[in-house]
Structure 1
Amino acid sequence: MRRAIAIGSTVMVLIGLTLLYLLTQATNNRELYESSYQTLFMVNVVVASLLVGAIAWVSYRLVTRLRQGRFGSKLLLKLATIFALVGVAPGLLIYVVSYQFVSRSIETWFDVKVEGALEAGLNLGRVTLDTLTVDLAGKSKAAAGLLAESPEGASGLIAEKLLDQLGATDITIWSGSGALIVSTGQSKFQLSPDKPTNSQFRSARQQRSLAWVEGLDDVAMDGLTTARIKALVPISNPNLGLASEARYMLVTKALPTSLVGNALAVDRANREYQERALGREGLKRMYIGTLTLSLFLAVFAAILLAVVLGNQIARPLLLLTEGVNQVAAGDLTPKLALQGRDELGGLTRAFASMTQQLSDARQAVEVSMSQVNSARAHLQTILDNLTSGVIVLDPTGAIVSSNPGASRILKKDLVQFEGQLLSEIQGLELFGAGAKKQFDILVEGNQDQAIDHWQQPFELSGSVSTVNSPFEGPVTLVARGAELPSHHQLLVFDDITEIVSAQRAQAWGEVARRLAHEIKNPLTPIQLSAERLEKKLTGKLEAVENAILIKSVKTIVDQVDSMKRLVNEFRDYARLPAAELKPLMLNSLVKNVLHLYDLENTKVPVVLELDPECPPVLGDAEQLRQVIHNLLQNAQDACLSATTTHDTVRTVTIRTQWQSANRRVRLSIRDQGDGFSENILKRAFEPYVTTKTRGTGLGLAVVKKISDEHGSRIDIGNIQKDGVILGAQVSLSLAIAPDAAA
């Protein structure tokens, strides 16, 4: 760009100097001026247009930079304005003075009086010619009257006399059809005299006379006196006959040579004067155009100098500004630096060095941040895969973040509750309030002694279920809390429900085993002793005492049998063998068990709803048969002991269902009894928890133990409709056999 500007400026200056030289040569050489005027004028216009375009382009660039707010644009504009004023103000003053001088000087070259005298001489010549023409037309008209009064045979003689009287050089008489009748003067010696045209005949007839001047241009060409005046007048015909033809007289009179010469000299001088006047305007325009071109050259040079010097001054500042903007945008790539020895060059080098140092520092920070992000990603992966629940709370108890384990244990999507107090989430009110209380105690304790955490067990109670939302049972948690450095609160908890349940089952199993061992040993001697007493004393006592003996022995034996059954149940619960899982058809097993529950053997009908699409499941047939027996027996007992009214006969429903979504088979047994109370639901699977007056409470405990052996999920809940309990339901979800997956 700089090279193009330099070349363009040089070409403009050379063209301007060339035009100025040609102008000086043209003013001294009239022929050169006249031949080169158009060329000089067009070149002048082209150069001026190019200069105007260049100045406009430079001005547009400056205004654009100013509107864009680029640093240094105001400085460039000020420099351009100053240099333009320095170049334009004197140039404009010189231009105005030169314009006035040129205009007035050229005007003085031409005398206004001379121009007026030439115009007056031309007018005088025209008036003289017009007077001679009118005079000849009048005399010719009077002579035509004489010819009209004389006979046609005497027309030639009369024409000869009129030739002398009128001072004419030639008189001819023509018929209306253009035939020559009489000729006198020089026309006698011409074979074909000049005949008027038809239009001239018609004009003479209409105007009664016609006169004109001929030969002025010929005189100007060869210098001979051939200029003449011609008059054409009609000759009236005294005869009234229709056959008579009209006649015309053409009079030709030569103009004086001196008069014609003077008129032509005045006309020639006036023509040359007007040509010089036209040249005067062109010369004036040439001078003014050259002055304007010089002004443009000065303005262009001033603005160009301003731009060049302004760029030299503003370039380091612009470089620094661009670098600062890049650094502000985060771009710390190496920056350009000027190698000059001035202060601005040193400033650019210092800025480039500072940017490099910042880039090195940012790279070190990025490495550290990468390590931190990697550690954070590892920590997040660990948190996401922890079986423990982790919740971060703010000082008010609102949830800040949580891991998937927390949502899984609490069975709620805690991400949706972020920003909400833990104690305000439905079902977690007690847990949230208890955790808040423990954190408050921890904060107060930190003021007195170094306490860094707290640990507390919690029990989350389940709610009474519906058919579509089975009861999950109570959840036992052990929670641990600590305060983070950011004053947030860390809550970590584990679901120990299964551990507590297993420990409880193990403890009950140990109790059952010991009770079975300690109780069973004395039962046989007691029964044998009672039977021996009955055998020895029968028939030896009175009838009344004998009846009492027999009744007492029977009571002892019956109670011993009852204790033996209880001991056997304890033994079975404690010694439940490990399940031998094999593929089996659950529907066939259910049908096999229900043979024992036909209408002849049971008081409560059993309804079958078996899904024919159920695939084989993995299970122990004997243990699953025991599960079905226990659940059916509990369901029938619930229907028989129900206290609420029922419109129809109470029934027990056993259902199988293939769940393709989770690829499991669900076994459900539903009754139409009074349902479970809430306190029983919380501990339904614990041993010796029962609502029956004569039950042991081991039925559901055995079912839960067998379910755990099969790796299945067991759900228990009430069936509700419009808030009314219609019965209870127990369901097991069994895994399908591997061969049935296809």
Structure 2
Amino acid sequence: MTRAARWAWLLSLVVVTGACGVLAFLLSIGATTPRGFFERHYVWLFWLNAVVAGVLILVIGTASVRLLLRVRRAQFGSRLLLKLAGIFALVGLVPGLLIYTVSYQFVNRSIESWFDVRLAGALEAGLNLGRSTLDGLVNDTAGKTLDAAERLAEAAASGQPVQLLGLERLREQLGARIVALVGGNGQILMAVGGDASTLTPDRPAPALLRQARSAGSASQLEGLEDEVQALASQSPVRIRALARLPSSEFSLGSSDRYLMVVQRVPSQVVGNALAVQTASSEYQQRALERDGLRRMYLGTLTLVLILAVFAAMLLAITLGNQLARPLLLLADGMRQVATGDLSAKPVLTSRDELGGLTRSFADMTDQLAEARAQVERSVLQLEAARSNLQTILDNLTAGVIVFDAQGQIETVNPGATRILRLPLSAYQGRRLEELAPLQGFAQSVWHRFEQLGDSPEAGERGTWQDAFELQPDPSQDTLTLLVRGAQLPPHGRLLVFDDISEVVSAQRSAAWSEVARRLAHEIKNPLTPIQLSAERLQHKLEAKLEGNDQAMLVRSVATIVNQVQAMKQLVNEFRDYARLPSAQLKPLDLNALASEVLMLYAEAQESGRLQADLCSEPPAILGDATQLRQVIHNLVQNALDAVADRRDGHVILRTQKTNNEAGELRSLRLQVLDNGPGFADKVLKRAFEPYVTTKSKGTGLGLAVVKKIADEHGARVRLANTYPQADETQPPVGAQVSLSFSKFATAPGPADAGIAHRAA
């Protein structure tokens, strides 16, 4: 039997057990259920259980048919399974029938004993007793009220008017809740007592008032209209009595006056009376439902028996299958081994002898198959390792080259080709020296390997590390490589290298920042005293000298002052580079900012040497207006200086939007183009490092500051020369510097951009 089939059987047993438990619960609470429950729910409950029984019959029938087919096919263990199923079914059926017979007789006799004649008489007597008790309280209250009315009439006849104090004294004597004087129309004329929640007591009912008018006195029991609230003491039960005053000497607006007394019935008396009445009503209802109750109990009992028998049969088939299953597994496994199938055999998790036998057989089969599978596993592991290694090499950013014992290239990853910019994969099986651009590099590498083998340096244990500078492509920048070499057993060699050119450039920029900070600190302080001292010398000695001496003094002092001012400017530039503040990014309009800077070069624009080509409706970027203004100013000024010696020199400031392949906005680019001599090779390679310039004057910090500001804005800055017809073999005919901004404002708008620009 498969695992799914076993789970199906287990689920069926759980469902049967749950259904039996529900029915047993309904049977146990039947005596306490609300009246009419069995008649309302008997039909659907019966059919629900019938459906459950039908499903179980279907399951048992299917299992029985399968078992009979296995017996007919003479499958191994089928007869044992049939025998075990019969035994378990018999064991479950016989006790069930015995219990059902006894329970059937017990239910019949128990239900009949519930409706005994003496019990009905006792309930009737208790009900009459409660009614007579309440009637006695009502009559007693009516008599007391009539006596009190006569006493009030005698007091009024003797000249004592009815007052609140008298009514209060009368209420205390009667032990009443409320005592009131009521007019002929039921209006409350005077009252004492009552609840705190009401200012005046309730008026008597018109029927009670008419009865008192005709008979002289009347009384009634109030608050028993709702038995549930009365039992919960939410609605107090009261006795209200009216008695007519016999004398008409009271002149309060009407000839008929009545004394009303309201007396509360003790809650214990009310509770006992209502309990007896409720019990009697329920008993009568149960007596009417006797046949339905009997059918419900017997039907439930029958269904419980049927479900229990079905559960026993399912259990018999399941347990029988569990006992026969080890033998079936062994028989099938032996047949498979005989045909040469050495695959893993199923085992039983039981701890008995049959389970141990299946485990031993499976272990024996595994041992036989292990030798044959060892070679296949080794091959698969080797292929997997090779695939994993190749995947790792392909995804490494570092370059990796493996050499064999003869020093020939054995393996090259894409990172090595990308860093060196040479087709190394085409040179596999050849030596590294055969690549002309890498001859010097290869000689240095082999020399380091020889040093590692002959006289390794301190700390080198089978590996070495060194830095090299090389230029594989003359048209590209010089590369700075951090190279690590290692010996591979038995005689192979491994070379791993990274391009650290940007790291070295960043270190140089950091070093220049430190130098600039120290230079600004150390040099700026003595400059002012030098200038003041020279000016003081001129002021003291100029009047005392004449002729050439006086002229030489003036020229010397002017030279000192000019040179001090130049050094102050140099120090300020270094200070600005070292202490460039962090960018405060805000939405701004790049076109508006560029136009503002171009206003400083009105003369160049009027002469045609400076032109603006701004795109329409640019998106608002996130930037620092102060720093970007400095960037644009530096780039424009550098471009104008580059074309200063050319009669036809011109500079173009351009902004343009760039899109990706999907047509979505990717960046906003700012370009400064000129037709000057272009950048020298040494400038292109280290353009953004401090003190790199082609000018005879200046510190070379302009592009370094531009680079730092661009990094603060997450922008990409590029320098390039322009060549005639894109032929880089010819001299350049100009240069261009571009900044690409990709940080846009989340909600750009012309108004917001203008505000940010003006605020900056």
Tell me which interval the TM-score lies in, with the shorter structure as reference length: 0.3 to 0.5
The two structures have a TM-score, normalised by structure 2, of: 0.44
Q: Return the TM-score normalized by structure 1.
A: 0.45
Larger Rg: 1
